[in-house]
Structure formats: structure tokens, C-alpha cells
Structure 1
Amino acid sequence: MYLELYLVAIDFMILEGDNLDKLFPSVNFHVAGLKIGGKQGFVLIFSLLVLPTTWFRSLNALAGHAVFPMIYTGMSDRKKFPTVLLSCFIVCTLGYGLMGVVGYLMFGKSLRSQVTLNLPTRNWSSSIAIYTTLINPFTKFALLVTPIAEAIEDSLHVGKNKAVSVTIRTALVVSTTIVALSVPFFAYAVALTGSFLSGTATMLLPCACYLKIRSRTCRKLGFEQVVCLGIIVVGVGVVVVGTCSSLKQIVQSL
């Protein structure tokens, strides 16, 4: 989970660099006699801006996972919570899928890894969409880094030592910046995150855990066990092929 959060933080940095470079294509930076490209410079600026937000130690209360228990406890009929949860995931999945279809219908084979890169910057509506995309990483970056930092702090028994905590969080931001500058291709980074980590967390682990629990109470191979085994087989194929493909693309682009 922590590795997935780390890679998503890198994705956010690449996302910011790509979209800002789209808005300001002719911008270059000169620091101490060195010329820095626009995309790389924007990534560095983003990392400097979000760095102070990662130093706070009480951001987990703002994370999205807190919504689920609040919804559950606020329902008059809690037995309907699974139905509500399923409906929400179906609507979100349809929304994501519809956006992908619409993006392809609009731009065809010229569709880029981020649809905002295809939008014309001269239209005010496109500018609003791009700027909205830029704001999102600013509000979420610290939430992604905080669980990783807290896990490292717990393993090192840091306690309430603020200096060590700030050092750890700064090191995380620096490392994500270095990786984002080394792999400046949003599609490849997202492909690796989705195929290796998200595929494992959503397809392999739930089915494996379910089979482990069921094996203690039922030794027979029922319909649910067969379905889980099928999902695991398909999931292994997706994870292996997707991971190898994304790693190959990243290596070739370096």
C-alpha cells in the first residue's frame, strides 16, 4: 500500500509538470547558469510548494477513508450500506469509463496520456479544466505522503521528535521529485502503478484472503472458490504482462 501511495505521489508531480508546460510552453528556467526545461522546472516548483504541507502530522483526519464509517453510522437502515457502497462504485466506474470513451471519440488516436494535454489552451473552458486538474495534486499530495512518513517514523521509534519527522518527510518529497524527473512520462508511471500495485491489491489479495478464510470452514471446492481462482489466474496474467510492459516502456524512454 505504501509503495502505491509513493508512486501515486510521483504521478501527481508528473501531472503538474505536464499540464503547466502545456499552459506555458515557452517557459524555461535559469538557475546559477544552468538552463532547466519548463516541465522539469515546474516539477521542482511544485515540490517546493507542497513540501511545507507534508510537515504537518495530523492530516490523516482529512483523508477520504473516513467518509465510509460516517456514512454507515449516519444511515437509518445500516443493512443497506453494502447496496449503497456497490451503487457508488458502479456510478464511479461508469463515470470513469464514459470519460475515457468521450476522450477517445473527441481526439481519436491523437489522445494523449492526459486528456488535458489535448485541450486547446485558448478556450476559457479548457483553461478551467486544466487549472482544476492542477489544483487537485496540491490538496492531496500531503495526504499521500503522510501515511508513508508515519510508517517510517513508527519503525524508527521517532515519537514526537519534530526535527526527525520533518527530515523524513523532506526526504520523501526529494526522492519523489528525483523519480518524477527521471521518468517524466505520466502514462508509463500510471501503467506501472495500476498493473503492479493496484492489480495486486484489487484482484489478487482479496481473492487469496477469501480462499484462505474459506479453507478453514469448508474443504469442498464450491462455485465461489472457483470464481476466485479464476480471478486470481486472470489477475496474475494482468499484473505480469502489465508490469513487464510498463517497465519496458520506462527503460526504453530513459
Structure 2
Amino acid sequence: MKAANCVICVEESKVCACASEANAKATSSFTHSVINMVGMLIGLGQLSAPYALENGGWSSALLLIGFGIMCAYTAHIIGRCLDDDGGGSKSYQDIGEQAFGSKGRIVASAFIYLEIFFALVSYTISLSDNLPLVLAGVHAHAPWLHLSTAQLLTATAVLVALPTLWLRDMSSISFLSLGGILMSLLMFATVAWVAAFGGVEGSHEIPALRVEMLPRISGLYMFSFAGHIVFPNIYTAMKDPSKFTKVSIASFAIVTLLYTALAFMGALLFGPAVRSQITLSMPPRLGATKVALWATVLTPMTKYALEFAPFATQLERRLPPSMSSRARRLLSGGVGSALLLLILALALVVPYFEDVLSLTGSLISVAISIIFPCAFYLRIYWARSSRASVAFHVGLIVFGAAIAGMGTVSSSQALIRSIRRGH
């Protein structure tokens, strides 16, 4: 986006703005952008990585690393698609429309809202699982509500986090992202401390490979790198968008290294007893465990604003131009708040963390993070692509579709079994 390109027409809102004004709103530095991207990626994936590695075998780490490399590349081509449109595309949906017209926008929007919804359901389930351990001994009761103590504590925590949905500036949200990163690093440090000084027999042998488990754990691994719907927001908020590829490489390298290290550490430490969230396997008597549990509880509360950012942005752009900015913010914040309450209700009704997370990764994250970016790129750059480039991107699409299909079937069956056992 250059100041010389003085007019950019945004069709949805029928508002024209100077590129110089858009640049004035681009306040994120390289460091801010890395913080936002790492903050978007890091979180639930590290909790489930040891469980996935132990169930899939140590060689399944190659799948984890492979997903990290593929998603770093698809983040790069998202930036290429935004470059090609000369600043006209501002969001993931815009890229879908740029590639496939209104149908592309509709499909992209549907998957984006599904990913936001189910990701936040998973975060809230994690909050519900860990919060009672953090506040062990606390008893809450509401005579007019048929909820357990754990459910009431979870509802209270979500209500505390709800005001963050009203934030819009990416630089402000980056402080929440930084908080999420610090919590994640704290979790990693506490697991390492338990391995070194916690008195846990950490000599379990990880199986080489369990082929039958790969479809299910692929969803857990894939969810670890699902953040592509926010990447256009990060790109457009950058002072220098030409550095977006470097931001992607740095961010995915950090996250992949952290996930892989924690996966091996947790699997070796707890072996077959490792649970779907590593914090639930740690010895409750240790102070390090309490620190890890607090970090796990606080992490979802730093995620709500960044996950909701694309939804809020699109909603505000679709509102009538005659509405004031204050009215737009009030409406989008109110809708977001209502959705978060719906997410809370679903998380309390279907509290099966690993099944919901795996299904989300397989059914939605693979499409948004691998299949769609490659399809968008092929469509936009078709006339300028070599045969080798076309074959490469088609191969990624086919691979993603195969992983998504097998993972969705496997995780859906597991979720149905969990629901039946629950009843």
C-alpha cells in the first residue's frame, strides 16, 4: 500500500479511503506482528502435544513439524494474495472473493466463523477442566441454577474476560497476545521443572509409531497451527507489510520448536498416563503444578479478543455507512458478547476437550490453513504459475483433503463415544 495509490474502494462499506490514511492506521512493528502471530498460534496445541505424541508415537513428531512448515508456507502465500490485490483485500474473506467471487467469500466466511466458534469452545473447555484445580476447595452454589461449582467458576471467568472483545486496535491486542505467550512459556518452564526436580519417574518409552492413531492426532497437531484467519489482519496492521513472510517464518519456527520440545518432554515424563492436557497430569502437590494451572486458566482469557478480531472487523464493515463508529462498536461488541455466552453454554454441555479439539483441527483448521490458501493462490496466480508450482499446490490440496477426511471421521466417532459414555 503506497501513498501514491490515493484511492482504495472498499465495496462492502461503499467507502473510499486514501492509502495514506490506511497507512496511518498501520501501527504494528515487526516485533508487534511476531507477538500477535505467535500469540495467535500458541496455546491449546502445547497442552495436547504430549498426549498426541504419546498416542501417535515419537515418529509422529515429523507430522507435527511438517504441518508447521506447510502452514508457514501457506501464511506466506496469503501475504502474496494480499500483495496481488494492491491493498484492496483486507481480510481472509476478501481473498476468497478475490479468487472465487461471492461464492469464495461465502465459503471462507462459513469456515472462519466455525473455526472461531469451535476454537473458543475448546479454550473454554480447557478453562473448565483446569479452573477447579486452581481453586481447589472453593465451593460455589446458585440455587436458581443447576450448575456445578466447576461450571459456575467457568462462567464467572468467561464473564471477566468478556470486556476484551471490545478491543479493536491490533497494537492494543498485542499486549493480550504477549500475555498469552508469557503464560505458554511459563507452562513450558513448569513442565521442564517437574521433569528435572519434581520427583517424577520420567523414563517412559514412547512407541515408534501407531498408524491407527494418526488420523485422530493429526487434528490435534493441525489445530496447533491454526491462525490463518487472523493473518490478513496482522498483515494490514503492519507498518511494513513486505516483512510479513519473515514474520511468518519467525513465528512458526518459534511455535514449532516449542510444541515439539514440550511434546517429547511430556510424553517421556508421564508415558501412557499423560492426559489430553499436560497440566492435568502434573503432580498436584507441587508448586510448579499450581503455576502451570494458573497459566492454563489465564491463557484462554487472553485469546478471546484476538480470535474475535476478524469477526468484529467484518461485521463492522457490513454495517450501514450512516452508522457512527460508536454505534458500530457497540453492535459488534454486543453480538460478540452474545456469541461468547453461547460458546460458554456449549462448552459446559460437551466438555470433551481432546475430541472437540481433534474434530476442529481436522474438519476446519486443515481447510483454512492448507486447502483454502493453496486454492486461492492457484486461482489468483494461475496465469503466472509454472507447471511445477501448480503441481505443488495441487499436491498440498490433495494431502490436506486426505488428512481432513480421515481425521474428521476418526474424531467424530471418538466424540460420539464420549457423549454416549457421558450419558
TM-score (norm 1): 0.82
Deviation at 1:57, TM superposition (A): 4.6
Deviation at 1:117, TM superposition (A): 0.6
Equivalent residue letter for 1:187 = E
Of the candidates 346, 370, 378, which is equivalent to residue 211 of structure 1?
Answer: 378
Number of the residue aligned with 2:357? 190
Structure 1 residues 149 and 111, CA gap change in structure 2 (3 angstroms): same
Residues 64-94 of structure 1, C-alpha deviation per residue, up to 9 Å, x if partnerless? 56776788749xxx78x74564244223212
Contact 2:358 2:411 in 1 (8 A): yes
Of the candidates 261, 264, 280, which is equivalent to residue 117 of structure 1?
Answer: 280
Q: How many residues align?
A: 247
- Give the distance between the partners of 1:69 and 1:171, measured in 2 at CA: 28
Number of the residue aligned with 2:402? 237
Say whether residues 1:18 and 2:181 are aligned partners. no
Number of the residue aligned with 1:98? 261
Structure 1 residues 28 and 59, CA gap change in structure 2 (3 angstroms): farther
Of 110-119 and 238-247, more deviation after overlay is shown by 238-247
Instruction: Please show how residues 1-254 of structure 1 align to structure 2 within 5 Å.
Output: 1-24=112-135, 27-32=138-143, 36-54=147-165, 56-64=166-174, 73=240, 82=245, 85-155=248-318, 157=320, 159=324, 160-161=326-327, 164-218=331-385, 222-254=387-419
Contact 2:134 2:294 in 1 (8 A): no
- Give the distance between the partners of 2:125 and 2:247, measured in 1 at CA: 34
Equivalent residue letter for 1:189 = V
Gaps of 5+ in 1: none
Equivalent residue letter for 2:372 = L
- Give the distance between the partners of 1:236 and 1:101, measured in 2 at CA: 28
Residues 112-170 of structure 1, C-alpha deviation per residue, up to 9 Å, x if partnerless? 11100111121111211221222222222233234324434544546533664453233
Contact 2:167 2:305 in 1 (8 A): no
- Give the distance between the partners of 1:91 and 1:33, measured in 2 at CA: 47
Equivalent residue letter for 2:128 = G
SS at match of 1:31: coil
Structure 1 residues 143 and 24, CA gap change in structure 2 (3 angstroms): same
Deviation at 1:28, TM superposition (A): 4.7
Contact 2:366 2:400 in 1 (8 A): yes
Contact 1:4 1:198 in 2 (8 A): yes
- Give the distance between the partners of 2:168 and 2:409, measured in 1 at CA: 38
- Give the distance between the partners of 1:173 and 1:88, measured in 2 at CA: 28
Contact 2:161 2:301 in 1 (8 A): yes
Equivalent residue letter for 1:167 = G
Residues 196-248 of structure 1, C-alpha deviation per residue, up to 9 Å, x if partnerless? 22211222112222322343235x6x223222222211110111121222222
Structure 1 residues 242 and 17, CA gap change in structure 2 (3 angstroms): same
Equivalent residue letter for 2:276 = S
- Give the distance between the partners of 1:144 and 1:92, measured in 2 at CA: 18
Contact 2:140 2:152 in 1 (8 A): yes
The CA RMSD over aligned residues, in Å, is: 3.0
- Give the distance between the partners of 2:308 and 2:356, measured in 1 at CA: 17
SS at match of 2:141: strand
Deviation at 1:3, TM superposition (A): 2.4
Contact 2:125 2:352 in 1 (8 A): yes
